[in-house]
Amino acid sequence: MTNIRWKTDNTAAFYDELLTPAGKPRVAARRLVNLLQSLTPEEMSTRRAAAELAINEMGVSFTIYSEGKNIDRAWPFDIIPRVIRGREWDKVSRGLSQRTRALNAFIDDIYNRQRILKAGIVPAEIVLDSSNYKPQCEGFSPRFGAWAHICGSDLVRDKDGKFYVLEDNLRVPSGVSYMLENREITKRVLPELFENYSIRPLDDYPAKLYATLASLSPRDRQRPCIVVLTPGIYNSAYFEHSFLARGMGAELVEGSDLFVGEDDCLYMRTVEGPERVDVVYRRIDDEFIDPESFNKDSVLGVPGIMRCWRKGNVAIANAPGSGVADDKVVYAYVPEMIRFYLGEKPALDCVKTYLCMHEPDREYVLKNLDKLVVKPANESGGYGLMVGPHASRATRAKFAKLIEQYPRNYIAQPTLTLSTAPTFINDTIEPRHLDLRPFILSGKDTWVTPGGLTRVALTKGSLVVNSSQGGGSKDTWIVEDAR
Amino acid sequence: MRLLSRVADRLYWTGRYMERAEGIARLTQAYTHLVMDIPQGSELGWDILIKILDAGPAFESRYKVYSEQNVLYFLIADEKNPGSIFQSVTAARSNVRTTRDVLPQEVWEQVNELYLYTQEFAEKSVGRRNRHRFLDRIQARCQAISGHNMSTMCRDNAYRFMLLGQLLERADMTTRIIDVGAGTLLDSERHNVSMDPLIWGALLQGLSAMSTYRRQVGPLPEAAQVVNFLFNEATLPRSLKFCLNGMRTELGQLKNHTAAVRHVERARRRLARFDTKATDWDALHPFIDRIQIDLNNLSDCISESWFLPTER
C-alpha cells in the first residue's frame, strides 16, 4: 500500500486538489485515492515506468537550450491525475471565456478608436509606449474582431480554494499538445479509472482549433488552406507544432516554404507549383514574422506577409500585435475592461497587482519586498522574477534598484500559496505545488478546453512549474458530478 | 493532396536513407556469410566492401588497415560515415521527425524505435558475435516500416516521393552488390573457380532472391545467369529493371516530369543494350559505373524539378 504520508503536515497552509484538510479524499477524487492506496510502491513504479516508456516511444519531448546545444528531453509527467469537479469548472470556464472576449475587444479598440484610453480607464502611456504595441496594426480589424485566437491563461488556486488568473498568454502560448498527450498516457497507465469516472474528453481540441482557424479564412471554401508556421525543429515547442498540424490535417511549414505573390496573396511552394494559403497559425513571434515590417534580419518569417494580412488576403492567428494585451501591467486592468466592453461583472478573480509605475504602489512594493512576488511586465517562461519570501537579501536589493530605475517594467503581487496535489516522487507520494493552463479559442465562437495543462513543481516546496526549469506535468480531469 | 516541396524532399531522402540502412545491412551480412564459407587460404579481403561503395577516400582518411574490425565499424557504427547504418538511420529519423504530419502516425514511433535500437547496439555489433543478430534486426525493422507505409499510405505524392527514393537507392545498391561478385572474381590469386557458386549464391541471398532464382533459373548460381537475373528480371523487386520500371511509372504521374523521365529512360535503354554474358570485371564494372552515374543524374533532376524553391 502506498503511503500518502503528508496528511498531517501543515494541511491548512495549502489547498490540496485531492484531499481535504482532514486528509480525506475530496468527493471527486475518492475513487482515484482509493486506487492509489490499493497499489504498492512497486506497482506504482511499474506504472510510472510504463508511462516513461510510452513517452519515449511516442517521442513526446521538449527542447531545451543549454551549454550551446539543443537537447531533446523526454516530457516530464506525473502519473497521478488532478481532479476537478465539473460544476466548479463550468464557472471557471465561463470566466475565462468572458475574459478572452474582453481582451479581444480591448486589442481591437486599441488599434482603432482607443475608446478605453479616451475614457481614461486605462492610462494611454502604458499601452502606447509598450514594446508590445505595434503601429503596423493600426486601423486594422480582423474578422469577428478576434485577435488572440488562441489564448493560454495561467490559473492558480490559493489557500482559500479559489481559482485566480495569474496571466494571459496571448502571443504564441504553448502546452496544449502536452495536455492531450498526458491524457493518452494516463489512458495507457491507469485504464481502470476510466471505467468508473465520467471524464470530459479532450481529443477534439485539434478539431475545435481547425474550426476556429477555418472560420477566419478570407475565401469562402469548403476546406480552406491552413498552415502551421514553425520556426523549425530547434524550437522548444516543435513537437507541438508538428502535433497540431497533424491533428488538423494542416501543412506544417517553415518561412522558406511560403512567399508573397505579386497579387499580395500568400502562397506555399508545393510539388505541383504555388498554392494559395488562407490561414496561418503562426508559432513565431511578431518580431520575426515579416522582415519587411519588423526585424529585418529574420529568416524565420515571410517577407510581405503583413501586407497580405492588412489587405485581408490571409488570416494570421494570433493576429500580429495581440501581445499588446499580454503585459502584466495591462493585466491589472482586465476587470475594468470586462465592465467597460461587456458591461458584466468579472466572473473570475485575478491577483491583486501593484504597478510599480504608480508611486503609492511602488512605495508599498519597496517596503514589502519580502512578502511579494516581483515580475517583469513582459517576460515569459518564469525568467527574471523574484519570489520575495524565498529570495536572498542581495536579490531583494537588486530588484529594489531595478524597480526604482525602470518602474514601468515591474509589477508585484502577493505571494500566492499555490495549491498542491499528491505527486509520485521516488517511491512515495508527496504534495507538490501546481498551476493550470487552460486554452481558450476565439474565432466565430469562443471555446474553452475542459481543464488544461497542469504543470507541477517537482522540487519540494518550489513554486516554479516551468518545464524549462524542472517542472513536470499531470493529466487534468474534469469529472461529472456523481448523481 | 498538396505536398510541400520541402516535405517532398525530406520524404524522398527518408526513402533513400531507410533503404540504404537496409541495403548496407544486407550487403554486410551476405558478405560476412560468404567470408565464413570460403576455405582458409583463399580469404576474401574486406576492402571490396569499401570499394564498391566508393567510400575509399573517406575510409582511408581515418583508418590505416582494411581489417574486418575497421571496415565493419565504418559500415555499421561510424558517425562520421554518412553511409553507415547508424548515420542512415539517424538521418532518416530526423527527416521523419520533420514530416510526421504527412506520414501514418505509427511510422514516427517505429523509426524512432529503430533509431534508439541502433544507437544502443550499433557499436556493440561490429564484432562477429552480435553482428548477425543486429543486421537481421535492422533489416526486419526497416521492412516492417516500409510494409507499414505500403499497407496504410494513400498512393499520393507523399508516398510517391518516398517510393522514388527507395527505388533509386535500391537500384543503386543492387548494382553495387553485383559489383561485389565481379570484384571478388577480379583478383585471380584470391580467386578459385570452385568458389563461384558460393559467391553468387551469397549475393542472391543478400537480395532475398535465392529461392526465386532456384525456381526460375536453376539450382546452381552461375555468373552470367545471376547477373542477368538481378539486372533484368522484371518481376523481382530488387532487380535493376524492376526499380527502373517502378520509377518510370511513379515519375509519369507527377506534374512537370519530362526531364526526370528522360533520365530514367536513358538508364532503361542502357540496361536493354547490355550484354549480360559479359560478366568479367572489365565489362561489368564500367557498365555499373555508368548506371550509377545515370542514377545520380536522375536524383539531381528530381531535386531540381520538385524540391528547389522556385517562384513562378
B167 vs B161: CA distance, rounded Å: 10
Nearest CB among A225, A257, A261 relative to B6 is that of A257
Query: What gap in Å lies between CA A458 and CA A417, rounded to an integer?
Result: 15
Q: How far is A59 from chain B (nearest CA, A)?
A: 7
Residue of A nearest to B255 (CA): A272
pLDDT digits (tens, 9 = 90+) for A189-232: 999 888 878 999 999 999 999 999 999 999 999 899 999 999 98
Of A58, A261, A270, the CB nearest to B2: A270
Residue B312 contacts A where some CB pair is shorter than 8 Å: yes
Listed in sequence order, the residues at least 6 apart from A413 whose beta carbon sits closer than 8 Å to its beta carbon are A351, A352, A353, A354, A372, A373, A375
Q: Is B110 on the interface with A (CB under 8 A)?
A: no
A398-411 average pLDDT score: 89
Q: Which one of B6, B7, B101 would you mutate to disrupt binding with A, by most A Cβ within 10 Å of its Cβ?
A: B101
Task: Please give the residue that has the higher pLDDT: either A6 or B266.
Answer: B266
| CA B184 – CA B76 distance, rounded (Å) | 21
Residue A3, pLDDT > 70, answer no
Average pLDDT over residues A327-350: 94
Strand partners, A253: A229
Q: Which residue of B has its CA nearest to A238?
A: B98
Q: A271 contacts in B (CB within 8 Å)?
A: 3-5, 8, 157, 161, 254-255, 306
* Predicted confidence (pLDDT) at residue B79 exceeds the cutoff of 60: yes
What per-residue confidence (pLDDT) applies to A329? 87
Distance from CA of B113 to the nearest CA of A (A): 7
Chain A positions touching B310 (Cβ under 8 A) are: 269
> How far does the CA of residue A304 sit from the closest CA of chain B (Å)?
14
Instruction: Tell me the C-alpha to C-alpha distance, in Å, between residue B206 and each of B73, B129, B181.
Output: 19, 19, 12
Please tell me what DSSP assigns to residue A375. E
Question: Residue A480 to residues A15, A183, A222, B14, B240: CA-CA distances in angstroms?
Answer: 21, 17, 35, 46, 63
How far does chain B reach from its first CA to its final CA, in angstroms?
20
pLDDT tier at B42, thresholds 50, 70, 90: low
User: Is B306 in CB contact (< 8 Å) with chain A?
Assistant: yes
DSSP A341: I
% of chain B at pLDDT higher than 70: 93
Say if residue A8's pLDDT is above 50: no
Residue A442 contacts by C-beta under 8 Å, 6 or more apart in sequence?
Answer: A100, A101, A104, A144, A146, A148, A149, A150, A151, A212
A223-270 tens-digit pLDDT: 999 999 999 888 888 889 999 998 998 999 999 999 999 999 999 999
Q: What confidence tier does B41 reach under pLDDT thresholds 50, 70, 90?
A: low
CB spacing of A242 vs B161 below 8 angstroms: no
Whole-prediction pTM value?
0.84
Contact B312 A274 (CB under 8 A): yes
Among partner residues A225, A242, A270, which is closest to B5 by beta-carbon distance? A270
Please report the pLDDT score of residue B312 as a whole number. 39
Using the Cβ of B3 and the Cβ atoms of chain A, whether some distance falls under 8 Å is answered with: yes
Distance, in angstroms, between A56 CA and closest chain B CA?
Answer: 9
The helix (run of H) or strand (run of E) holding residue B52 is helix B47-52
Give contacts of B157 with chain A, Cβ < 8 Å.
271-272
Cα separation, B192 vs A474, whole angstroms: 68
Task: For chain B, give the mean pLDDT.
Answer: 89
CB atoms within 10 A of CB A119: 10
Mean pLDDT of A174-195: 91
